[in-house]
Chain A
Amino acid sequence: GAVVSQHPSRVICKSGTSVKIECRSLDFQATTMFWYRQFPKQSLMLMATSNEGSKATYEQGVEKDKFLINHASLTLSTLTVTSAHPEDSSFYICSAPDRGSEKLFFGSGTQLSVL
């Protein structure tokens, strides 16, 4: 089946730094990529939807200047957490829909810890 590769799997950074998370579709073209965040004991929350070649759509309450999304090619979408603060510490994961079955193919997630 389709594979979405997500890196890094874990990152620890100092407050104020920016962190980039990459999701690559390895054997299919992902025109759309969904980005989610999950806090402990909570469900996956959709943050934004990126579409190749156009601006991302952000969910209500998600700061677009804080979470920069780029989807410059059909195989790569990136999420940059700018000027990260401890409250941004969370699990971030991406997924891309398969056009035929409409199943979501997920990355393996990134655990971000901001000190």
Chain B
Amino acid sequence: ILNVEQSPQSLHVQEGDSTNFTCSFPSSNFYALHWYRWETAKSPEALFVMTLNGDEKKKGRISATLNTKEGYSYLYIKGSQPEDSATYLCAFFSGGYQKVTFGTGTKLQVIP
């Protein structure tokens, strides 16, 4: 079983604050790293698919970076809004798309 950890487990921020979370994963046999946003009672929704060391992706106020050599990815949210409240999951793929290990998620609550 591969060790994929996310931190923090949960956090509360005020509307307008910027925040970031971490996903750490094994530095060997990397294939891809995905970030998903999972709102309560809905399906997880893909945010980013990252495959190359040094990748930086951006979607609106959300961005992510990837360091495959040291085994971590950061997700940043700039100017958090209440609608950003969700659990953010990272998924580590090793050796191909058939082998995936999910982190336990970071639960974000943005307080208006």
Contact = CB atoms under 8 A, between A and B. Distances in A.
A108 B42 contact: yes
Interface stretch (B11-19, B53-61, B74-82, B97-105): B97-105
A92 interface: no
Contacts of B101: 43, 46
Which secondary structure characterizes the binding site on chain A? strand
A62 to B, nearest CB: 13
Interface string A11-39: 00000000000000000000000101000
Contacts of A95: 44
Given A42-B104, A43-B103, A102-B97, 9 more contacts: A6-B43, A43-B101, A43-B102, A93-B44, A101-B49, A102-B49, A103-B46, A104-B36, A107-B43
Interface of B: 4, 32, 34, 36, 41-46, 49, 89, 91, 97-98, 100-105
Interface of A: 4, 6, 34, 36, 41-46, 49, 57, 93, 95, 97, 101-109
28 contacts: A6-B43, A36-B102, A41-B104, A42-B104, A43-B4, A43-B101, A43-B102, A43-B104, A43-B105, A44-B89, A44-B102, A46-B100, A49-B98, A57-B98, A93-B44, A97-B97, A101-B46, A101-B49, A102-B49, A103-B46, A104-B36, A104-B46, A105-B46, A106-B43, A106-B44, A108-B41, A108-B42, A108-B43
